[in-house]
Amino acid sequence: MKDRDSGWTALALVATPALGLAALLFDPTGFPFWRGGAYSDLLVSHGPISAFIRYSIISWHQIPLWNPLILSGMPLAADPLAGLWYLPNVLAWVLPGGLGFNLLFWAHLALASWGGLRLLRSEGASVPAAVLGGVVFAATPKLVGHIGLGHLTLVEAVCWTPWILVAVRQAIERANESSGRVGRYALAGALLGMIALIDPRWLIASGLLSLAYAGKCLAHSHDWRLRIGLGWKPGLVAAAIGLGLAAPALIPLAELLPRTTRSAMTSDAAVDVSLPPERILGTIMLQAGGWPETQTYLGATVWVLIACGAAISLRKGRFWTAVLLLGMLLALGAYTPVYGWVMRIIPGMSSMRAPARFLFVVALASAMLAGHAFDRLREAVDDARAARRVRLVGVAVGGLALALPLVVVVLRLGDPEVSGSELAWASVAGGLLSCMLVGMVGTGLGRSSAAGAMSAVILGLIALDLGWANVFTLEARPANSELSMDACDLVGRTVTFGEHRTFSPSYSLPQQAAMRCRLELADGVSPLQLTTYRDTMAAATGFPIGDYGVTLPPFPDGDVDSNWGPTIDAGLLGLLNVDRLVSAYPLQASGLTLLAHADGRWVYVNTLARPRAWIETANAEDAWRDVGALEWTPNRIRVQAVGPGTLVLSEIAYPGWQARVDGVRAPVVTNAGILRSVELPAGVHEVVLTFIPASVYMGLTLAVVALLLLAVLWGRR
């Protein structure tokens, strides 16, 4: 890039994240929250997992492949929320509180802005237009809203999307060069593979967009040999490298997914988070404080700019217009038959569950359209005929952007039972800014001397519009906003990992608080729950097995404090090493003894709780006995036990756990339908169970091979 380009790039990198993350500037160690949200995946899932990884490395000198924090244990490497193999996530492991996460969000919004800029530049846009497009994409309230929901890995993956398209375009445009052709294809495949490594949920949407963009680039190629398939061999190499880099995430996930409740998700659950059709109006009218999953606001000023550019010419906007419309159609999910048709054709799409996330594609398309529209306005500054069309269209769209929120405000003020009129007033700002933009465009067109001022004002108004929307989207909250370090005192004991578990039927012990006190939970929040474990917990606590859900136990009305009538089987919970129960309401069950009642929480001791490991014998009078000693780490458990009998560990059975008895390999057998066990002969034995998942090591091997191949091919460039 030229020096001038570099200056504009630096400006975008520094300024754009501030439009979305301004709230974090005042509390850089706090956690970003959607303003209307009670929970955040960052605090509930990503935070505890990162803290556990840090604890594991410091305490046991191992990267954990097994996660004991929730659901009595899960394979960590197979969890898409872990982001275990994406190196930038190390920031979250080493920095305190929310600081590491906030730096990750800031860096990735900058990456998204820079990627949008590079993509527009590759399509021939000017530097100011490319900067504007990068700002529109990175500061879109949809993306910032998902930061508020705590969707770390999803946001990271989405921010890489424009870079894949840049790589695809370069690969196709230089496909006939004598050297470097394969390397450029390989880079595009590697970027797509990295997205799958970060968050497999974004692979389908980004892959479909990449294929469509490749088709567009091929269609515009002037070389007929390229159109008939000159690049198919490099394409295969790119696909192989992409799959290889994604293997550490995809292979363990493929092993886990068929064993989870998500694999049996109904077609209705697969489109659970669809965009209601009435929310399409929200693309031009801000729904201040609206749920980010269905937040559609693209910026009233952005729409005015796109419309004004379309009034001049549609020459560079046809592809991105098609992408915008198709993305919106797919986001509607259950409300049209289109998503169902696509879901039957594309493998894995039925497990996405959130069609509304195709709005990220819509946001990227709007950014590209806005950038090209900006250039068309600059080019037509002396075109009187075009100026008349632009003024007419601009007034119409700007008037609509102002009229819609005003109507909503009037309706809200007329209904005394409807609250939040101040949020409705907030949505008027976009309309006012869009009218100002129309006025600036109308004044600047036809006056070449005003072109520079017009460009600066347009960029400023769009930045104000998106920044204002994000003010009502994001806020920072302290990490201990739900439950402080009294969690250890609450359960009446101090523990270390591998000793006991706790269960709450009312989410009275949040996952982040449990991790701070090293409490392992039998309940939990996760989109991937082992079916056998769900069924066992249903029998142990009495919840009905119904539709797919992400919480265990499920909460029928969504209120975690509401008494859903648990019927506790203390003996069955005891097999899972649960010796404490914490509830927002009293529990009645044989084997439970009330330990404490304070701050609206009841704490019970389970007198039927088993230790983490025991020996089962054939002696009816002595059916089981505790083992002698146990050393626990995430990837390795060492037990001293006296046989004969069956050594049972209150640990979830899962492929990859291997046992050695006195150094000799022994089979691991499933006990009680869910636990690990090993048969022991008479005498004193040392039993070591090690988690060596073939899926993980196979994936890492393939990733190393793919990286080496990429390095060789790129070096030849």
Mean per-residue pLDDT over the chain, rounded: 87
- Relative orientation angle of helices 359-379 and 451-471, to the nearest 10 degrees: 160
Between CA 103 and CA 89 the distance in angstroms is 10
Which pLDDT band holds residue 623 (cuts at 50, 70, 90)? confident
Q: Can you tell me the distance from the alpha carbon of 8 to that of 700, in angstroms, rounded to the nearest whole number?
A: 39
**Rounded Cα–Cα distance for residues 280 and 197 (Å):** 32
* Structure token pair of residue 255: 């092993």
What are 606's strand-pairing partners? 592
- Which percentage of the chain shows pLDDT scores above 90? 58
| pLDDT band of 449, cuts 50, 70, 90 | low
DSSP string, 589-631: -TTEEEEEEETTEEEEEETT---SEEEE-S-STT-EEE-SEEE
Q: At what angle do helices 203-219 and 359-379 cross, to 10 degrees?
A: 40
DSSP 29: T
Residue 19 · residue 139 · CB < 8 Å: yes
Assign 167 a pLDDT band (cuts: 50, 70, 90). Answer: very high
Residue 681 and residue 644 in contact, taking contact as beta carbons nearer than 8 Å = yes
- What does the alpha-carbon distance between residue 557 and residue 702 come to, in Å, rounded to a whole number? 45
CB contact burial 608-633 (16+ within 10 A = b; e otherwise): bbbbbbbbbeeeeeeeeeebeebebb
Q: For residue 319, what pLDDT is reported?
A: 94
Measured between its terminal Cα atoms, the distance across the chain in Å is 19
Angle between helix 181-198 and helix 694-716 axes, rounded to 10 deg: 150
> What are the pLDDT digits (tens) for 185-208?
888 899 999 999 999 999 999 999
Structure tokens given for 39: 């929970």
Asked if pLDDT for residue 231 goes beyond 70, the answer is no
pLDDT digits (tens, 9 = 90+) for 558-589: 788 899 999 999 999 999 999 999 999 999 99
Q: Side-chain half-sphere of 367: how many Cα atoms within 13 Å?
A: 35
CB atoms within 10 A of CB 49: 26
pLDDT digits (tens, 9 = 90+) for 483-507: 444 667 777 677 789 999 999 999 9
Q: Examine the pLDDT at 315 and tell me if it is beyond 80.
A: no
- Among 577, 582, 563, which Cα is nearest to 514's? 582
Domain residue spans of the chain: 3-159+270-476, 160-259, 487-528+531-606, 613-653+657-691
Q: CA angle 102-107-109, nearest 5°?
A: 95
CA 344 to chain centre: 24
Helix axes 451-471, 127-138, angle to 10 degrees: 10
User: Which pLDDT score is estimated for 230?
Assistant: 52
pLDDT, position 314 = 72
